[in-house]
Amino acid sequence: MCRYQKSNFIERFPKRNRRQLNLVVLLVPIVLAASFGADAAELTFVDSIRVDGKLVRVDAQVQFDSLVRPIRGRDSRDIDRQMFAAFSDGSTRVSLEMLAGMGRGPLEGSRWSEWTGQHDFAQSISLQQQLKVFKSNALRRNGWRASAGGQVLFIAQQLGGLDIQQIPDSVIGFISQGSDQDWSAVTYERYSNGIETDTIPMVAGRDVVFASALQLGVGFIHRKGLSIQICGGAFLNWQKSSRLQLQSPEIDGVPWRLLPLDAKRILPLMSIEVGQNCFEFSDWQFSIQGSFKWMPESLQNCWFGFGVSAATKSSSRGNLAR
């Protein structure tokens, strides 16, 4: 009996060890998995770097720029860069001109020069910048290049005039300047014993009027140096000016009236220039040109002149400024 119990105890002991061993084997993977999961979660949410084989945690934050950049802003910057490049590559020209007035302006009938023998004169200086070159195969085949540009002008007009204090009260009209007579005022006075008429010579003066102008235009230049330029814009007189409307002698008529032009009025301007390149020196091209300027609302509306100009060479070779 005692032998049987001893044998039974010996047999149950190994079974208990085997159950403990199985429990340890089951728990070890669970513990390792939990530890790995915790490390993985920690590595997922915490930034880290490895230094000399050791993992170092870094408390860092990343902020993303969620602002949407407008396409218009990028396009405007590109346009500005293109305009600056075109402005830098374009030619710059400086011109000096002498002009003579050939129009009648607001006058009815004869021009001021036909009445007085006195012509209007002007001097101008201009600065012109090439802005864009046109690429036209048709023009290139015929030897022409075309471009667009802007021009700033400063004009000193010397307009013929008259001090109205010279005009006598009894004037009935004027006699125009001729080959055998001077410009004169005709007076008429009635007395109890008759009528008296007389002529009084008139002395013309000049009024200097300064003006500035801004124009945009297109130009064409031939490979042989001939150039044509057409511009349009506006100008501004800085002083008040006036012109006299004169009439031929007539009893009970209106011998003269004043036609004023206020200062700082913006008036239209159009000009045409035809020029020819003469020679080149260093990076400059020198040319001569004839010009026509049309100012429809000015006291002198038609100017003809000639001038000289110097222009830098354009790297784009579409030289409006010659």
Q: What pLDDT sits at residue 282?
A: 85
CATH number of 90-312: 2.40.160.20
User: Per mean pLDDT, which range of 10-19, 106-115, 157-166, 216-225 is the poorest?
Assistant: 10-19
Q: E strands within 136-265?
A: 144-161, 171-175, 184-191, 194-201, 205-222, 226-237, 241-246, 256-261
The pLDDT > 70 percentage for the chain reads 70
Domain ranges of the chain: 16-58, 90-312
Q: Is the pLDDT reported for residue 183 higher than 80?
A: yes
Q: What pLDDT sits at residue 188?
A: 94
| Number of neighbouring beta carbons within 10 Å of residue 42 | 11
Phi, psi of 76 (to 5 degrees): -65, -40
Phi, psi of 171 (to 5 degrees): -70, 140
Beta bridge partners of 274: 228, 290
pLDDT tens profile 206-250: 999 999 999 999 999 999 999 999 999 999 999 999 999 999 999
Question: Could you tell me which residue, 107 or 22, shows the higher pLDDT?
Answer: 107
Q: Is the pLDDT reported for residue 315 higher than 80?
A: no
Give the C-alpha separation, 154 to 25, whole Å: 102
Kindly state the DSSP code that residue 70 receives in the 8-state scheme: P
pLDDT tens profile 137-180: 888 899 999 999 999 999 999 999 999 999 999 999 999 988 78
Question: Could you tell me which residue, 34 or 192, shows the higher pLDDT?
Answer: 192
pLDDT tens profile 62-71: 554 555 555 5
